[in-house]
Every structure is written in structure tokens, then in C-alpha cells.
A and B are shown apart, each in its own frame.
Chain A
């Protein structure tokens, strides 16, 4: 895995993995794709520059209306791949090896998700939280503080999806779309 990833860091030279990118998705410059399995990116999804997607071990599927931020690594854990639902917000500097991340989940700065972990819908992971390997997080779980957990009963999920759409609209105005660079 190591030699392949080092090759992928010089993005243009290495062969790209098979990509299936929705035409409405926004892909910035200098995204590092590596691996051999299919990477699917859904509608209206924004990928910031310098995020890294590694499909060496399995496919990666990103749903619609997602944001993946800079310096975040999405690594497929196994042949079953990594599936991100819709409205997933992945913040800066995360290290994600989950099997599944549910809809409308917000993953904040510097979070580490262990290999094969499973995150439910509408979860919130506060900055620098850690999820162990093969851990399952039920829906509406908030991980806060020193990896303490509580159940979110605030019923703000729909409101957060709205702000997410507004966030994506704003990013589409700010970021340059370089998706044709990857679809060539």
C-alpha cells in the first residue's frame, strides 16, 4: 500500500482508479485518488483540495450533498468498501477507515474512525474524537468531550441538512471545479 500511495501523491503521473463522478459534484484541484477499486461520488458533493481517497482494499461510495475537507483520508477498509451516506460532512484532517457512515452525520476536525467501524445516521463526532476498530455507533449518537457519548434528542437534523445545502452552495461559488481533470 505504501509505494502506491506515495506514487499517488504526485497526482498527475500515477494512474487513477476507476471513477464514477456525478456531473453536479465539485472536485477541487489536487485531490489524491489512489487504489484500484471504483470510487463513486454522488450528486452535489464537494471535495476540497488535498483530500485523499484510497481504494486499494475496496470501493469507496460517497453519497449526495456531502463535504469532504482538506487533508482528510478516506480509506476503504476491505472488499466491502467504504460507504458514505447523504449529507455527510467530513471536516479537516480526519482519518477514516469506516465501513459505513450514515446519513447526515457530521465528523469534525481530526477525528479518527477505526477500521471497519460503522457510524449510524445523524451522528455527531466532536473534534479529535476516536472510534475504535469494528465499533458500531447507533443513530443519533453524539461523541463529545473525552469520547463520552450521549443520544441526540434535539431534533435539529433537518435544520442541519439545510445549513449543509447552504454550505455547499457557498463552496460551489468559492472553489474551482476541476472535475473534468479527473474524468479524462
Chain B
């Protein structure tokens, strides 16, 4: 989060548990709000969903404090109440879990929703070694562990890959740079020049192949060591108590009570056992703190005194090896950890969102539904290059360029809505989007645009041609505020956003939360007309098949979806002399209907992605 600017998109799992998310459950039904016309076009949601949502949401609803000046500016005050409830607070601890850059998000085509890493389920497609790129069957992984069982080993000192070299390459017979190097062989790190000869005792291999088999003969595998250790320990314990476990009916009960009755209570219960004429049983667990044998410890200290601190391992090296070596000469080569290829499933509808090619060598994907291809992405630039992202001047109007890029093949109408004052903080910045409603062209072929550039029809958004359906977009194309769009190209449109940060005390030392961090929540609502696939609709869960269009060959349908995103603009710096607070600091431009508050339709509020029937 250190580099500004960043744009994070809120996954709908912020509002609900991913398990209960379906296209219908994502739609809020709240009795406090009057249902809009959109609500009637839907069948009733699953009965358990609304109550669940309410209980979930009620304690976590972020609140925004609007001060008096803000209220005065409001056109109608009844809406402010709603705004407070519905504004997305980027500082809310609950929302922090669901904010991701768009690159990290997937999109479920069946749920019509964004899916973040929290609401997908990973399934392992295959295991493979990243070094030799050999696939390891999962049965082998279960039996032999999650490390490469072939020839891949890492240097224990610097973690680079080890190579096999002959020990006596040129020291004994320098002339023979032969084709058949003869053993013994060493494992050699070409980065830090560590070899297995550095070990005490040195490990030398007879063959340059099947290293794992040779190493396991020379060094006991840590798992085997651990098993023999445990076996020895418990055999010893059992030997002490051997006479207790004779073939008597009491033996079994005593065996059962061995672990439950032990620990701190064993002392107090000991008397009772003695009363039955059985010896008190002392069973030491292996996990007890390790016993320090004084002689061995003195040996180690002496060795340290001789070899110096440089011969000892650091904590990372010690912990990465099962036998926790104290000296570098005790480190053994570690086999390469296997990696996995994973497919990802939507947790709600179980459809696969990502499926990589199962062959290890290929990096392609069979299925990859990334959100970047489905939802318009936002980017922010500064209009004035003198703006320092890390040091915004209080009370100064900063202008940024917000660009919406359309990945879809249909032109979209976009509404950007933001609270007039950034929520969730006592030091709210004033935010204004100069042109909050605009159109973004379709993501057509680049060549189409170039070839048809002579025709003006190709450039103008095609939304003009379609009959106005939704009321809010009726007079859209004729609206004069279209002219305030900063830049409009093939599939992106840029608008200006103005930010006036207040003076904020630096709280980084005293509080965990950085009050100076300026994050702007923006509600993005997208409407477009898409061609409807009939089969898809039947499978989509029995929605009403009402269609506004006549029964033509191509059926078009109004689709609307929306999401919250958070724009991390920067950090507010120290106040600058000469730039003072004055309420009409921002150039006064309040175009008619500039939404400086959250959307009016309550149904659209908490609906991250959904379809609306015209």
C-alpha cells in the first residue's frame, strides 16, 4: 500500500458470507426501504437470505458523519440518512479483507459476481518439482512427502540449486577433461561454492544420478530418524512400565487412562492408583522440553569456541532442517519443495473459474475468468504533474484524471458516485467528480476504429441509438455535462476528479491508523445492453423471461451491475502557508444532478453485480 495511487475493488463477500452468495441473495431486501421497480422484476429471494443479511450487516454498517455544512448543501435531506448507511467505508476493518487490486480478482459468469481469493476454492491439479519440472503423482506425495525425490537439491547455506561435479576433476588428472567423469562426486553450489565435502563427515556420491537414493543411504532421512527416536523413547517408557501391562483385564483400562489421567493431575491421582495396588505410572511425552545433556552441551560449547561464530548456523538455516543443526558443517542438502498447479472454483455455484493446463511444462490455462475481462477497470493519473502523491497539500484543490476502461464488446454507461466527504474519518476530504455519468465505447478491434475513423457514427457512443429504457438515462446523451468528459477514446473515457484534503495531524506515531492516508470510495455502476443467450438464462435460475424487445433473432437485455472500489490517492502532507481553508475553495461548479451522494435507488446500493430487466 506504500506506492500511490492504487485502486482496490471491493469483493461482494465483504457484505455476505461467500457460501450464501447467489445472484438473488446478493440483492438486499430491507423492509426499511421501499422496494423499487427493480425489486418487483425479481422472484423472491431464498427465504433465509434476507434475515441472514440483516443480522450480518446490522452491527457492521459503517457510519458516516455528515456535518452541518454538508447538510445545507444537500438537495433533499431525507436521503442523507440513507447515504450514511450505505456509504462504503474503506477504513472499516470489515471491508479491509475484501479489497483487492483488480488483477487479483476473478469473475464467476454464472453468479455474475466478482470473486476474490477468499471466495474461491483451490483444488490441486498436479504436483511438480519447480527445478526438474517433473510431475509427481499425488499418491507419491502422500507416501514420500512433498519434496522432489529425484536429483534436485538446494544449498543449505544460500538456497541455490546444487550441481553435481566430480571431486577429482582437475586436481589429480588435470589433462582429462573427459566425457565420462569418474566418481566420486560432490554436490556443488555454484553460487556460494558450498560442497558436500564441507560436511563433517563429508558426503561423496558414487554416481552422478539417483542422488536421493544415495543420499538417503549416506544420511538417515530425518523422518526415519524421528521415527526411530519416537520408537526408542516409547519402548523405553514401556519397558519401565512393562510389568503393569500384563495380560490382565485391568491393563486395558489402565492403558486407556494413561494419557487422559496424566499431566498435572497424575500426582494427585497417584494415591488412588496406589490404593489399588498398582505402581504410579510416569509416562514422559516426547514433546516435553528437550533435556539438555551437560556433556554434549559442553562439547558444543568447546566446538564453538574453536570454530568461532561464523561456523554456526543462523536461525533460518537451523529451522529449515529437521535435525536443527548448530554448526554449518552439520547442514545437509535439502530437496526441492514441490509446487502445485491449482484450479479455482466459485464457492457459491461450484463452477470452475481457473483451470490450468495439467501438463507441467505449459503455462497456459484452459479456463481463466479474470475480472479484468468482465468489469470496467479504473485508473487514476494526476492532471498536474507537480502533485506529489505522498505529500498532498491541505486545502488545495488537487485534480486527478479518472479513466474507466471497458473490456466488454458492448458500449457501457457508467455512473461514478462518491460521498461528498470521504467517510470513516474525522478529517474528511471533499471529493467531486466533475462528470459522474458518461459512456464508454465498446472494446472493439483496434483496427475497426482505425478503418472506420471517417465515419462519425462509429465514434459516438451507440447508447444514443437505443431507445431510453431506464429513467435515469433517458436524457443522457443530450445532457450538457457530457461535455465535461476530459477524454474519450475507443474503449476508455477519462473524467476529472477534484480532491480537497483538510489539515490532518500526523497520527502515525500515536495510532495504528494513518489518518493522513487519503482513500476515496467510489461506487461504480455500469449499465449496458447485452445479447442474451437463451440457454444461459434458463440455467440462470428461473428468472422471469420477460423481454422488452420483440421476438427477434437477437434478444438484447439491459444488464446492470455495480461495485465499490477504493482509490488510494495519496497521503496528505503538512499544511502549506498561503493555502488556507475557505469553504468555497473549490471552483463552484455544481452541474444539475451531480450526484455528490451515494445512489438514490436503494436496491442498487448493496448490489455488487446483478442484472436488471427492462
Binding site for B on A (CB under 8 A): 124, 126, 142, 144-145, 150, 152-156, 158-159, 162
Instruction: Indicate if the CB atoms of B195 and A154 lie closer than 8 Å.
Output: yes
Binding site for A on B (CB under 8 A): 157-158, 165, 169-171, 174, 177, 186, 188, 191-195, 197-198, 310
Instruction: Indicate if the CB atoms of A150 and B194 lie closer than 8 Å.
Output: yes
**With A144-B158, A153-B198 as contacts: A158 and B191 at CB distance below 8 Å:** no
Instruction: Indicate if the CB atoms of A154 and B197 lie closer than 8 Å.
Output: yes
Instruction: Indicate if the CB atoms of A156 and B193 lie closer than 8 Å.
Output: yes
A-B interface, 3 closest residue pairs, ranked by CB to CB distance from nearest: A144-B192, A152-B193, A158-B170
Residues of A within 8 A of B192 (CB): 124, 126, 142, 144-145, 150
Best-surrounded residue of B157, B192, B194 (most CB of chain A within 10 A): B192
Q: How far is the CB of B590 from chain A (nearest CB, A)?
A: 56
Q: How far is the CB of A143 from chain B (nearest CB, A)?
A: 9
- Within the complex, which residue of B177, B191, B195, B310 is in contact with A153, where a contact is CB–CB below 8 Å? B195
Q: How far is the CB of A41 from chain B (nearest CB, A)?
A: 27
Instruction: Indicate if the CB atoms of B169 and A153 lie closer than 8 Å.
Output: no
Residues of B within 8 A of A145 (CB): 158, 192
Best-surrounded residue of B170, B191, B193, B194 (most CB of chain A within 10 A): B193
**Can you report 30 residue pairs joining A to B where beta carbons are below 8 Å apart?**
A124-B192, A124-B193, A126-B192, A142-B192, A144-B157, A144-B158, A144-B191, A144-B192, A150-B157, A150-B192, A150-B193, A152-B193, A153-B195, A153-B198, A154-B186, A154-B194, A154-B195, A154-B197, A154-B198, A155-B171, A156-B165, A156-B169, A156-B188, A156-B193, A158-B169, A158-B171, A159-B165, A159-B169, A162-B170, A162-B177
Best-surrounded residue of A124, A145, A152, A156 (most CB of chain B within 10 A): A156
- Closest residue of A by beta carbon distance from B157: A150
Q: A150-B192, A158-B169 are in contact. List 19 more A-B contacts (CB 8 A).
A: A126-B191, A144-B157, A145-B158, A145-B192, A150-B157, A150-B193, A150-B194, A150-B310, A152-B193, A153-B198, A154-B197, A154-B198, A156-B169, A156-B188, A158-B170, A158-B171, A158-B174, A159-B165, A162-B177
**With A145-B158, A162-B177 as contacts: A154 and B170 at CB distance below 8 Å:** no
A144–B155 Cα distance when bound, in Å, is: 12
- Closest residue of A by beta carbon distance from B174: A158
Residues of A within 8 A of B188 (CB): 154, 156
Q: How far is the CB of A109 from chain B (nearest CB, A)?
A: 12
A154–B198 Cα distance when bound, in Å, is: 8
- Within the complex, which residue of A154, A158, A162 is in contact with B193, where a contact is CB–CB below 8 Å? A154
Q: How far is the CB of A129 from chain B (nearest CB, A)?
A: 11
A156–B174 Cα distance when bound, in Å, is: 12
Residues of A within 8 A of B195 (CB): 153-154
A145–B198 Cα distance when bound, in Å, is: 19
Q: How far is the CB of B334 from chain A (nearest CB, A)?
A: 16
Residues of A within 8 A of B197 (CB): 153-154
A144–B193 Cα distance when bound, in Å, is: 9
- Closest residue of B by beta carbon distance from A163: B177
- Closest residue of A by beta carbon distance from B198: A153
Residues of A within 8 A of B191 (CB): 126, 144
A155–B188 Cα distance when bound, in Å, is: 11
Residues of A within 8 A of B174 (CB): 158, 162
Q: How far is the CB of B157 from chain A (nearest CB, A)?
A: 7
A155–B194 Cα distance when bound, in Å, is: 10
Q: How far is the CB of A106 from chain B (nearest CB, A)?
A: 10
Q: How far is the CB of B197 from chain A (nearest CB, A)?
A: 7
Residues of A within 8 A of B194 (CB): 150, 154
Residues of B within 8 A of A155 (CB): 171
A156–B195 Cα distance when bound, in Å, is: 10
A150–B158 Cα distance when bound, in Å, is: 11
Q: How far is the CB of A145 from chain B (nearest CB, A)?
A: 5
A124–B195 Cα distance when bound, in Å, is: 15
- Within the complex, which residue of B158, B170, B198 is in contact with A159, where a contact is CB–CB below 8 Å? B170
Q: How far is the CB of A91 from chain B (nearest CB, A)?
A: 14
- Closest residue of A by beta carbon distance from B160: A144
Residues of B within 8 A of A154 (CB): 186, 188, 193-195, 197-198
Q: How far is the CB of A181 from chain B (nearest CB, A)?
A: 35
A159–B195 Cα distance when bound, in Å, is: 14
- Closest residue of B by beta carbon distance from A152: B193
- Closest residue of A by beta carbon distance from B168: A155
- Within the complex, which residue of B165, B193, B310 is in contact with A142, where a contact is CB–CB below 8 Å? B193
- Closest residue of B by beta carbon distance from A124: B193
A152–B188 Cα distance when bound, in Å, is: 11
A150–B328 Cα distance when bound, in Å, is: 11
Residues of A within 8 A of B157 (CB): 144, 150
Residues of B within 8 A of A153 (CB): 195, 197-198
A150–B314 Cα distance when bound, in Å, is: 14
